[in-house]
Amino acid sequence: MQFDVVTLFPELVDAVVRCGITGRAAERGLISLELWNPRDYAVDVHRTVDGRPYGGGPGMVMTGECLLQAIRAARQKNPGKVVYLSPQGLPLSQSLAHDLLIENSLILLCGRYEGIDERVIKLEVDMECSIGDYVLSGGELGAMVLIDVLTRLLPGALGHHESAAQDSFFDGLLDCPHYTRPDILEGYEVPMVLKSGNHAEIARWRKKQALGKTWRCRPELLQARQLTSSERVLLDEYINEFESSKKLY
């Protein structure tokens, strides 16, 4: 998958392909990253890429000319959908990531300051995407999150011991708890079932914990998901144990 990122801070975004799973995917050629700095298209001696907002108000706005040139140069080299990272965008989710996976080339546009000139969005942006309802200093972290989420879904990106199937939200539920050595940590022992070697029981426990964790922490996800009859049984079991454990304290 090809990622072109239009950013005033290429050194920040470049970090995503220098470590971890995304770094390995880049080494393996599963992903490639090209960075385009709008400042390289600025013609004035100060290489200005921002301007005061028309209508007054705080802060600065990224000017259109340099951005349009950088976007069009990226499109010329690697045609692809232009995604602008902004709080006004579609909320990024695992399912939106799956939809974007069909694109084998994406141009990720990162704003800075108060944002970018609206005419750039009108002229060149195919979709806006938000990584969350908060305000960042720039779209770069959003672009890096998107690259990470998509890379994990690429065949071969995760080693055999890693699997996207284990990921939270893979099937609309939060993840189950995970344990590793030591067997006892500050008095807390690893649940016996996980040491039983009974894989059917282990899978049952993990699904039950995932359902329970989702019921406790993100109940709206359960509304959005049809539970199977066996999942209903597991969740009811969890809720009864949870309620009875509460009575103990």
Of residues 120 and 234, the one with the C-beta less far from ligand 4FV: 120
Phi/psi of residue 61, each to 5°? -125, 140
Residue 131 tokens read as 């990584």
The β-bridge relationship of strands 50-51 and 81-91 is: unpaired
C-beta of residue 82 within 8 angstroms of C-beta of residue 71: yes
Q: Minimum distance between the CB of residue 115 and ligand 4FV, rounded to whole angstroms? A: 5
CA distances from 208 to 9, 27, 59 (A): 44, 38, 50
223 burial class (0-12, 13-18, 19+ CB within 10 angstroms)? exposed
Please say if 167 is a catalytic residue. Answer: yes
CB of 7 to ligand 4FV, least distance (A): 11
Give CA–CA dist 173/211, Å, rounded. Answer: 7
Smaller CB separation from ligand 4FV, 116 or 235: 116
CA gap 76, 63 in Å, rounded: 21
Please give the residue ranges that form the binding site for ligand 4FV (CB under 6 A).
Answer: 85-87, 111-113, 115, 130-132, 134-136, 138-139, 142
Q: Which of 103, 128, 167, 237 is labelled catalytic?
A: 167
49 among the known binding-site residues?
no
> Does 99 appear as a known binding residue?
no
> Residue 189 is which amino acid?
E
Q: Which of 87, 103, 204, 225 is an active site residue?
A: 87
| Cβ proximity to ligand 4FV, 129 vs 211, nearer residue | 129
Determine whether the annotation assigns residue 239 to a binding site: no
Active site residue 182: no
Per DSSP, the three-state class of 190 is coil
Instruction: Check the annotation: does 135 bind a ligand.
Output: yes
User: Binding residue per annotation — 131?
Assistant: yes
Cβ 111 to ligand 4FV, closest distance in Å?
A: 4
Annotated binding site for S-adenosyl-L-methionine: 111, 131-136
Catalytically active residues, by annotation: 87, 114, 152, 167
